[in-house]
Structure 1
Amino acid sequence: MSDTPDSAVQTVRTYIDQHREAFLDDLAEWLRIPSVSAQPDHAPDVRRSAEWLAAKLRETGFPVTETWETPGAPAVFAEWPSGDPDAPTVLVYGHHDVQPAAREDGWDTEPFEPVIRGNRLYARGAADDKGQVLFHTLGVRAHLALTGRGAPAVNLKLLVEGEEESGSPHFRALVEERRERLAADVVFVSDTGMWSETTPTVCTGMRGLADCEIELYGPDQDIHSGSFGGAVPNPAMAAARLAAALHDENERVTIPGFYDDIVELTEAERALIAELPFDEASWLTTAKSHATLGEAGYSTLERVWARPTAEVNGIGGGYQGPGGKTIVPSSARLKLSFRLVAGQDPDKIELAVREWVEARVPAGIRHRTVFGGATRPCLTPLDHPALRSVVRAMGRAFDGARILFTREGGSGPSADLQDVLAAPVLFLGISVPSDGWHAPNEKVELDLLLKGVETTAHLWGDLSAALR
């Protein structure tokens, strides 16, 4: 690590120091708006949040700022052309809606009244995702202070949706409708995090998701198990057998074709994952679990980041009350979800699951398999020039520290941007696990938040050169 920042680093830090207080005041003002998209009573607040952000982006210098309507909550779009005809175009994605929060949930303070204690800012949305959206406003101004330009070195666009915490039900349609306005050479998702406060990392992928409910019907009504049990098919037994057949003795998914087409981890990628300071005991504590279990031949991190999975989310049917009720139930159900990795096509997975169920349901059991909306996986190749730009920019912000790589086991709307815009998706986030997304006392580490500002201040110039 370097003890003496170079002049560019010092220029950026001086600018940030001079504007730190105003930036945090802006963030606190935005955090006071309870933009909870999942609660209809807060719909006016979600709209107010969008209008606040649009006004702040105009104040920042974006010459184009618009509020885009959807059948649900509004999104915000902003654009700042470079003025350079050869400059690449970058789209930054985030969201301005937040999870529900109330003092009685276990918060030490009012969730929508920001509080700074030490070097942490506590409020709902501090990390997820208002803090990680707003750092781009100070970041682009610091970038201009560094370059002396009147516009960014890239054509910079922002899309900040208002329904991410409600499952982004209208997001893909919005992206398809506005495809031409959103066109970009690369997309940055600013809604993710790092390994820890002391281990700076860049996320390189998110898994996709498909889920279904299998409905199973036997007798036309619950019937007496003494008179008919053992002589007619039982839908609860069929559900149990389907669940039990989902994995083999090595915890591999048994659905034919499930592993076809996946992008396997390279030895280099496995070595990079192994470099992370992973403590399995601590991880189990966070997971509220008592042992690890998963596909044989892979580490815990490899299983949750880079391998596809099938989970039984729920199983039920028949009598569930106190005491006994000796019946053959008339119906049962099974809820399944599948996390998908690069190379897997949700449509092909759906077809494979339907065929697997069809082959295993016994005669006399009527069934229906209902799939919800699917999310495709995203993966950034480690040699992508935009990823190398992120690593260089973050390395400057973190004083030359080695930047490692992670992935996310979860899923998000980033795949819609990848699919519709046909642009590579990268991830840029500074949140850490202790920030407590969706939990009481959500916070953001202020030092890391300003490292996000620094990273973007250096990134746009580096990226402009790297993508030409």
Structure 2
Amino acid sequence: MTNDVRAYVRDHSAELLADLDAWLRIPGISSEPDRRDDVIRSAEWFAEACRGVGFPTVEIWPTPGLPTVYAEWPSEDPDAPTVLVYGHHDVQPVDPIDLWHTDPFEPTVDGPVLRGRGASDDKGQLLFHLLGVRAHLAATGRATPAVHLKFLIEGEEESGSPNFEALLRERRQRLDCDVVVITDTGMVAEDMPSSVTGMRGLVLADVRFHGPDLDLHSGVFGGAVPNPVTVAARMVAALHDADGRVQIPGFYDDVVELTDLERELMARTPFDEARFLATSKSRALAGEAGYSTLERIGARPTAEVNGIGGGYQGDGTKTIIPSDAFVKLSFRLVANQDPATITAAIEAFIAEHTPAGISHRVRWAGDGVAPCLVPIGTPAYQALSKAICAAFDTDLILPTREGGSGPEAAIQQALGAPMVFLGVGLPDDQIHAPNEKVTLSMLYKGAEAAAHLWGEFAALGRKGLTS
């Protein structure tokens, strides 16, 4: 079947490219209010594309914000497993526009790549799934997919998914499934197929310290009353020890450690230290001792100071004890860490480092984002591995961990189904940045992998997927 799938994808690759060209011209930037109609047009475009492929049920679900597209195609086999594919059709803003080499909404083919906002994140990756469905049907001779197939394509992912969890609750029955496929990720290299096996969670804190009710003369009051900027600095300094470990009591209690096999496979992932430093405009690596850089940014929790300030900020000097200070903190969480538990631990840590005479207030950015994990021994991951290996003509895929955070954990928690990641973006796709691009050959390989995946899941059956 591999040759049949590959031939179909090759013969219809121009159709994928034409569709992507048309869709990318819709500037569906969800974070910009004046683009609301464009995001709605984007949802309508993808809904019509699903109908064109053959999905008998296609709906646009409204939210208090921007719409989500839902599509469903039942299998002829009533006992087939149900698969939910998640992605998003909205895109990032394009600023700074003067750094783009081409118009971000006029797709441009440049040799092996196509440039345009949303090419990789996430429109190209959604369209390879539509081609993959067609290739699956053609190669198997089926009239319907081998699995009950559902698509859930969000319209607010790039603006923080403010209405997504509510949508999951409201539509829970319609979204029931046996496995979830996330298609908003990538691979480590074009010649090294991989799959994400975890995404970190996130907790954001804005801490305000207040001392005297007005700025004081440091000559008259210095050394006699507490200084809130000093308190903020001491608290920040206490966050880590000399080995880069977070010093908040209980912070690591629930962390799921990497297995020896995971560490061995992650060690095979190519990492160019010089390139990493050049990309980050930095001059040295740093972080928790005992872990590689890839482990630090994907599989270990972190505490970062995003901002700190207080007191006089102008030119020259001003001899005062400031009235106020602030610290902005972000905490990336890994598998099994609960945002509520970590939030309570942070609150206690800040209170412990706030002396008498200083008051503090912590403001949280929502309830936090939970992490998610894909154990590499699960049947769902093994099926994904077989599908990717067939598409890339290899016998091994590498597990990777994403350092960022997204709504994937909310999906996993709401639906209670195992999850896998099938994405073909590359590290240099410049998503969220000027000159976003996608490598076209990766989209075609993604279509092949998707075509194989439905058969792999069907072979496992519902019980096999959840065993």
Q: What range is the shorter-chain TM-score in?
A: over 0.9
How far did 1:17 drift? 2.3
From 74, 86, 95, the counterpart of 1:93? 86
From 390, 402, 423, the counterpart of 2:384? 390
How far did 1:137 drift? 0.8
Alpha-carbon displacement from aligned partner over 1:383-405 (angstroms, at most 9, x marks no partner): 11111111111111112353211
Q: Which moved more, 1:20-29 or 1:444-453?
A: 20-29
1:55-204 alignment, distance < 5 Å: 55-101=48-94, 104-204=97-197
Task: Give the equivalent residue in structure 2 for 1:435.
Answer: 429
Q: How many Å separate the matches in 1 of 2:232 and 2:429?
A: 39
Q: How many Å separate the matches in 1 of 2:222 and 2:179?
A: 61
Q: Is 1:43 aligned to residue 43 of structure 2? A: no
Task: Give the equivalent residue in structure 2 for 1:5.
Answer: none
Task: Give the equivalent residue in structure 2 for 1:458.
Answer: 452
Task: Give the equivalent residue in structure 2 for 1:32.
Answer: 25
Percent of residue pairs bearing the same amino acid type: 60
Alpha-carbon displacement from aligned partner over 1:197-231 (angstroms, at most 9, x marks no partner): 11111111111111111111111111211111211
How far did 1:13 drift? 1.8
Contact 1:102 1:111 in 2 (8 A): no
Alpha-carbon displacement from aligned partner over 1:22-62 (angstroms, at most 9, x marks no partner): 22111110000000111111111001000111111111111
Task: Give the equivalent residue in structure 2 for 1:253.
Answer: 246
Task: Give the equivalent residue in structure 1 for 2:297.
Answer: 304
Q: Is 1:408 aligned to residue 408 of structure 2? A: no
Residue identity in the other structure for 2:85:
V
Q: Which moved more, 1:13-22 or 1:218-227?
A: 13-22
From 356, 369, 373, the counterpart of 1:375? 369
Q: How many Å separate the matches in 2 of 1:400 and 1:313?
A: 42
1:209-248 alignment, distance < 5 Å: 209-248=202-241
Aligned residue pair count = 461
From 258, 275, 280, the counterpart of 1:282? 275
How far did 1:140 drift? 0.3
Residue identity in the other structure for 2:434:
P
From 336, 339, 352, the counterpart of 1:346? 339
TM-score between the two structures when normalised by the length of structure 1: 0.97
Task: Give the equivalent residue in structure 2 for 1:4.
Answer: none
Task: Give the equivalent residue in structure 1 for 2:3.
Answer: 10
Contact 2:10 2:444 in 1 (8 A): no
> Could you say what the CA RMSD is over the residues aligned between the two structures, in angstroms?
1.1
How far did 1:467 drift? 3.7
Task: Give the equivalent residue in structure 2 for 1:449.
Answer: 443
Alpha-carbon displacement from aligned partner over 1:325-368 (angstroms, at most 9, x marks no partner): 11111111111111101111110000000011111101011111
Q: Is 1:314 aligned to residue 312 of structure 2? A: no
How far did 1:430 drift? 0.4
How far did 1:284 drift? 1.4
User: Secondary structure of the residue that 1:433 maps to in structure 2?
Assistant: coil
Cα 1:467–1:316 shift into 2, 3 Å: farther
Contact 1:36 1:45 in 2 (8 A): yes
User: Secondary structure of the residue that 1:463 maps to in structure 2?
Assistant: helix
Contact 2:380 2:418 in 1 (8 A): no
Alpha-carbon displacement from aligned partner over 1:277-316 (angstroms, at most 9, x marks no partner): 2222221112221111111111111111111110011101
Alpha-carbon displacement from aligned partner over 1:95-142 (angstroms, at most 9, x marks no partner): 111111158331111110001111111110000000011111111010
Q: How many Å separate the matches in 2 of 1:181 and 1:326?
A: 64
Residue identity in the other structure for 1:289:
S
Q: Is 1:425 aligned to residue 419 of structure 2? A: yes
Q: How many Å separate the matches in 1 of 2:418 and 2:313?
A: 48
What runs of 5+ residues in structure 1 fail to find an aligned partner?
A: 1-7
Task: Give the equivalent residue in structure 2 for 1:3.
Answer: none
Q: How many Å separate the matches in 1 of 2:55 and 2:66?
A: 22
Q: How many Å separate the matches in 1 of 2:419 and 2:358?
A: 44
Contact 2:255 2:336 in 1 (8 A): yes
Residue identity in the other structure for 1:27:
L
Residue identity in the other structure for 1:405:
P
TM-score between the two structures when normalised by the length of structure 2: 0.97
Residue identity in the other structure for 1:439:
A
